Structure 1
């Protein structure tokens, strides 16, 4: 599903707490973290989604499955190979193109999908432990309102019911649009978070930046390297502790870029949330805030 790096952080910077794009990124990161800790060995969420896509005797190409469950072709190649080796799917001639092959689910694959569904449902319960059934359904409905236009008409019902699937799908949809819009500024969506955090907090060490954004130290280093090369951020060593580097914005360039990136973020969010009205968008923000900050 193309998830962001996992994180255990539950904090939200006030300056980013109302930004739908940031909330979806953080929510998708939480899904990734839960996937890594909740699913037992041998259960692969991408393989499960692929088996669902082949329900009812369907025969589909790897490319079609990848598009339906929203994974990269590289991931789908690995998943298909693993499922074939386990005899959960078999390769057959593609009915739409006899020169290529497609996948069909075996009886063993159908049994595996039934067994794995319990683990997928346990994951959903863990993700929404603090939600009432009505709140959980409200979040699902709002997310579906955002992504419905991009889903295959025959997307399996268990995926349409999955908050993990819908959150990551909505995140990727928002991320792609925002990344494309930011190309003219020569920054990426993740850099927007860095610039916003430094503007809000002032100069801070790299470790504090990572804590605020809920990303690893390695990711912080890469983002700061990018922004330093772009001339928007610089590292300075503390006079009182030369081992500690503090991050400073380079003005006025950083402020100008952030102002334009903020405008683009707002317009992108308005466009990508077009399937729901303003009141629903606010409700989505509040539910995502709880999803991200839940203990």
Structure 2
């Protein structure tokens, strides 16, 4: 099932898979969408209703013009959107499955309404530490926005196991210093191609607002300082080939959060939900399957 829900003055798009007494909200990552779990969702266990919602500015959701300070695209704003969407869907309690920047969004959701959430499955998350983007890395998002081929190459590096290793090349020269890629065959390649097409349509509030707000979160240190108060059970799953998220951050989450397990998976990069959807569904089912609610 798919549809749209009103959250304040905008509408957010959502999809649902499955039904049952257990509800899981999937919170996607930056430059992404609800579609990132569509190949995994058919393998989720019975008795679980999974809801995925596009952030404002992403996928099929509305794309409001960003404020000069990106305040309407902050991590806190995305978290508030998700909470309001759950209200609109009449979901009083659920569990959370997150990917990448969805991880820090879920942190703000949990700290805002701790009794509303149960378990959390965090796939290669941006943790409460945030990410500090220096100016040259923030500016790189503008290059990706202006160059579809470059955006495709970068997206490929987040899912390296989908591509023949010899096509993920190092810098061949100043004209193109990022990997050249060739997609494989099958449903995963088709989804990857559609995801790349979606990237070209995201809001400037995403292209430029996400690195800005993640940097603000990192430099404030607020969420990192509160990690010890987050008692919700977390399973952090991270691919050993992940070039986006530092393993040290994942280990720090497992060390500082009272109920957090860390699993490192060989052969996988940043996006297990794209690279190995059946494997991702296995972790999802082991973490959420069989719960009473």
Normalising by structure 2, we get a TM-score of: 0.31
Structure with the higher strand share, 1 or 2: 2
Could you tell me the TM-score, scaled by structure 1's length?
0.31
Say which one has the larger Rg.
1
Give 1 or 2: higher helix fraction.
1
